Chains A and B, each alone.
Chain A
């Protein structure tokens, strides 16, 4: 089946620094990638949707200048948390979808645990 990887799996950074999370589709071309955020005991919240080669579409309430998303190729999307603060600590999950597939046919990465100290 389709595999999506994320790197790193865990990251600890200091307040005020930026951190980049990578999401890769390993064996298919991902025309659309999604970034989710999950708080403890909460559901996955969609942050943004990105299509290859175009700007990401952010959900209401998500700061686009703080969470920079780049989808420069059909196999790679990155999420950069800029000027991170402790409240940005969370579990970030990406998913990818191939061309023409339905919304639910998303393949999920294993997630990245971000801790901001």
Chain B
């Protein structure tokens, strides 16, 4: 079956530091890949997505590239802000009419001033 593996957390960084959150996946076929973010007290929000190999998703300064050869979708940001403090989930979706999301465990990011 499908699975998503995220690096262990939590992660604590100083403001303006470089961020990398690793994500690898196992899936049959050609899944779509996503990063969701959950800010304190709120529901999950779609941060970015990539639907085919070598696609790069980007939003709010975050980027992730769909690497089929390494089955990875690592999230990066060049300079984090305190407002980026949240829980980040990597996820995949298979294709088809009844497609579902499979999530990683999530990782908590704390950015200190």
| Residues of A bordering B, CB below 8 Å | 4, 41-44, 46, 49, 93, 95, 102-111
Contact = CB atoms under 8 A, between A and B. Distances in A.
B43 A43 contact: no
A105 B106 CA distance: 19
Count class of interface residues, chain B = 20 to 34
Interface stretch (B11-19, B63-71, B76-84, B96-104): B96-104
Contact of B43 (A42, A93, A103, A105): A93
Nearest to B104: A43
Contacts of B104: 43
A86 B6 CA distance: 28
Given A43-B103, A44-B103, A108 B32 contact: no
Considering residues B41, B44, B98, B101, which has the most beta carbons from chain A within 10 angstroms of its beta carbon?
B44
Contact of B100 (A46, A105, A111): A46
Nearest to A107: B43
A103 B46 contact: no
A106 B45 CA distance: 9
Contact of A42 (B42, B44, B98, B105): B105
Main SS class of interface, A: loop
Contacts of B44: 44, 93, 95, 108
Contacts of B34: 104
B46 A105 contact: yes
A114 B43 CA distance: 16
B4 interface: yes
Nearest to B105: A43
Contacts of B36: 108
Nearest to B49: A104
B20 interface: no
B57 to A, nearest CB: 11
A43 B106 contact: yes
A69 B104 CA distance: 25
A104 B43 contact: no
Nearest to B41: A110
A104 B32 contact: yes
